[in-house]
Amino acid sequence: PIMEWLPAYRRDWLVTDILAGLAVWAVMVPEGMAYSSIVGVPPIMGLYTIVPPLVIYALFGSSRSLVIGPDTATGLISALTVGALVAQGTPDYNLLTSTLAVLIGAFFLAFGALRMGWVAAFIPTPVMRGFIEGLVCVTIIGQVPHLLGIAGTSGNFVTKLWFVLQHLWEASPAPVATGLLSLAAMLLLRHVAPKLPAALVVAVAATILVALVGGEAAGISVVGPLPSGLPHLIMPDLSPDTLVALVPGALAIVLVGYAEALGAAKAAAMQDGGAIDPNQELVAHGVANVSSGLFGGFLVVGSLSKTSVAMAAGARTQIANLVAAALCFLTLILLTPLFRDLPHPALAAIVIAAMLHLSKPEYLRALYDRSRWEFLLAIIVILAELTLGVLQGIALGVVLALLLLIYRASHPRVAVLGQLPGTEAYRDVKVRPDATTFPGLLIWRPGGDLFFASIGYAIANLNRTLTASRPPATHVLFNAESVNFIDTSACEELSTFIRDLHGRGITIAFARVRDPVRDRMRIAGIEALVGDANFFDRITDGVRAWRQGPRPADAVHEGKAV
């Protein structure tokens, strides 16, 4: 993709791209170190994670503005996945975290090669929003011990919350003051100066203050010495047992991370006018994660928050990300000693502020008004995350969403149609009570495709409607405009149903049948059973044909469905 936009690069874009690169660098360095605590690895690995993915995405990504880097949602899944195998703080844990990034990259590349960019559609927005809201709570409670300088524990949200409440008395004044002041400064700066790199300002200020007042002696935990220089290539653990154990978490991260990244890329494209190739995004994320893991980093995905920073600073192309990568490269070589006294409470404050920024409770309020079922789905995901775990929460949400999809597909919204007065338009009589229906004629619409899972429900509903019609309907006009597909099972059941109607003295005709559907009906013998003359291009034609034939009554009945 870089070969498409780079030849058309304009010189007057360079200044804004450089300024945007500075802004991205100012955000990514402190956040990379802070997010490493979510992943459960040393802060230096957060810096190792930044440079290779930024460069790789600039080459392979289809978005002109998307910023790729460490992420909170997928980072927590990484910590849970690796933490189930080895203990945090050990070399094996760090190695498996990088190995997981390589495995994630391999999955991204495989899905990209298979053109499977559609997989993100299986996480509906309410599920993703519920997942993020639950993740906000889980991540914040995990950072509270670091914020207050007390011990933490493992377990679900409830377990961690109860542990924190039991050990609040152990908090010392110095780390508490550092953490709360850093959090207050983050929130205040975002409110009064949103364009200012709040994370960098807070990190620098906290580091200077702790160094000046000797906060480490007062019990404030600091990052400590960080190695300078470039990361070395590492050999991931590719043993079959390890890879099998990492696969579930890797797949969850790919699904969640891709949905999040694609959403961010599309949001950026709406502003910069670029085009997004979902399959190319899979390839770009694949190479970026493999490179991050091989250089000792952890997983990366496209970030809406970091992309917003770049676009607010005037980023026009991926040159901004290359500038940010160069500055992060210089940080690794020259500036890591400056972060020795960076306090962990300040890093926790940066993470908590980022999570609070992700939370959108107003979305849930609006969702409640729009769809109670989808609101319930989001709440179930949140509660599952808080009680069962993050992976279990998102898995339950996806499963419930798929079950809801299956239910809706197998229970199409059938309708009895009536004619709007003075028009040739036909509408659902339950929605438009002014629509006119005709005694003896039932105009019926199945409301969706007819296949093995939906045909039984559709025929049962049509039978009930015929039984309840007053006066009894003697002719059915089947409006097939909503049917784009009919399978063999549906054709066979429909044929049996038509024969049953004929045995009951009820005739049937079809209107607005799409050509592919009619071809399948012809092959199945339905057209011969009904008669070619009983297929109409318009509902009006079908009604007119019925009127011209023998029927029990000539009057029309308005306002109420038969």
Say which CATH number the domain at 427 has. 3.30.750.24
Alpha-carbon gap, residue 484 to 520, rounded angstroms: 11
114 domain-assigned: yes
Q: Are residues 338 and 427 in the same domain?
A: no
Q: Are residues 236 and 301 in the same domain?
A: yes
Alpha-carbon gap, residue 512 to 92, rounded angstroms: 64
Domain count within the chain:
2
Alpha-carbon gap, residue 552 to 128, rounded angstroms: 55
Q: Are residues 352 and 478 in the same domain?
A: no
Q: What is the pLDDT of residue 550?
A: 54
Closest C-alpha to 258, from 104, 392, 394: 104
Alpha-carbon gap, residue 96 to 88, rounded angstroms: 10
What burial letters (b/e) apply to 532-545, b meaning 16+ CB within 10 Å? eebbbeebebbbeb
Domain membership of residue 510 as a residue range: 415-558
409 domain-assigned: no
Model-level pTM?
Answer: 0.76
Per-residue pLDDT of the chain (562 residues; tens, 9 = 90+): 888 888 888 888 899 899 889 989 988 898 899 889 889 999 999 999 999 999 999 999 998 889 999 988 789 899 999 999 999 889 999 999 999 999 999 999 999 999 887 877 777 888 888 888 888 898 889 889 989 988 878 788 999 999 999 988 888 888 999 999 999 999 999 889 887 888 888 988 998 888 887 777 778 888 888 888 878 889 999 999 999 999 999 999 998 888 888 877 876 776 666 778 889 999 999 999 999 999 999 999 988 778 877 887 788 889 999 999 999 999 999 888 888 888 989 988 988 888 887 788 899 999 999 999 899 999 999 999 899 887 788 888 888 888 988 998 999 999 999 999 989 999 999 999 999 999 999 999 999 999 999 999 999 999 999 999 989 999 999 999 999 999 999 999 999 999 999 999 999 999 999 999 999 999 999 999 999 999 999 999 999 999 987 544 333 333 343 3
Q: Using an 8 Å Cβ cutoff, are 216 and 222 in contact?
A: yes
Alpha-carbon gap, residue 48 to 52, rounded angstroms: 8
Q: Are residues 189 and 320 in the same domain?
A: yes
Cα–Cα distances in angstroms (integers) from residue 345 to residues 46, 144, 203, 222, 413, in the given order: 17, 9, 10, 8, 54
Q: Are residues 172 and 290 in the same domain?
A: yes
345 domain-assigned: yes
399 domain-assigned: no
Q: Are residues 348 and 423 in the same domain?
A: no
Q: Are residues 115 and 243 in the same domain?
A: yes
Which positions ≥6 away from 478 have C-beta within 8 Å?
A: 444, 446, 508, 509, 510, 511
Which positions ≥6 away from 195 have C-beta within 8 Å?
A: 312, 313
Torsion angle, alpha carbons of 34, 39, 40, 45, to 10: -70
Q: What is the pLDDT of residue 271?
A: 67
Tokens 């002041």, residue?
A: 181
Last residue within a domain, chosen from 316, 340, 359: 359
384 domain-assigned: no
Parallel/antiparallel/unpaired status of strands 507-511 and 475-479: parallel
Residue 442 three-state SS: strand
231 domain-assigned: yes
Long-range contacts of residues 515-518, Cβ cutoff 8 Å, at least 24 apart: 516/484, 516/485, 517/480, 517/483, 517/484, 517/485, 517/486
370 domain-assigned: no
**CA 15 centroid distance within chain:** 34
Q: What is the pLDDT of residue 9?
A: 86
Q: Using an 8 Å Cβ cutoff, are 419 and 425 in contact?
A: yes
DSSP-H helix ranges across 236-334: 240-272, 278-294, 304-312, 319-330
Q: Using an 8 Å Cβ cutoff, are 19 and 314 in contact?
A: yes
Q: Are residues 444 and 334 in the same domain?
A: no
Amino acid residing at 459:
I
Parallel/antiparallel/unpaired status of strands 557-558 and 436-437: antiparallel
Q: Using an 8 Å Cβ cutoff, are 404 and 417 in contact?
A: no
Cα–Cα distances in angstroms (integers) from residue 34 to residues 123, 270, 330, in the given order: 28, 30, 19
Which positions ≥6 away from 70 have C-beta within 8 Å?
A: 28, 31, 32, 35, 36, 39, 46, 49, 50, 298, 299, 300
Last residue within a domain, chosen from 315, 333, 359: 359
Q: Are residues 419 and 485 in the same domain?
A: yes
475 domain-assigned: yes
Q: Are residues 83 and 180 in the same domain?
A: yes
Cα–Cα distances in angstroms (integers) from residue 184 to residues 218, 254, 261, in the given order: 21, 34, 29
Q: Using an 8 Å Cβ cutoff, are 457 and 410 in contact?
A: yes
Q: Are residues 352 and 466 in the same domain?
A: no
Q: Are residues 451 and 528 in the same domain?
A: yes
Amino acid residing at 557:
H
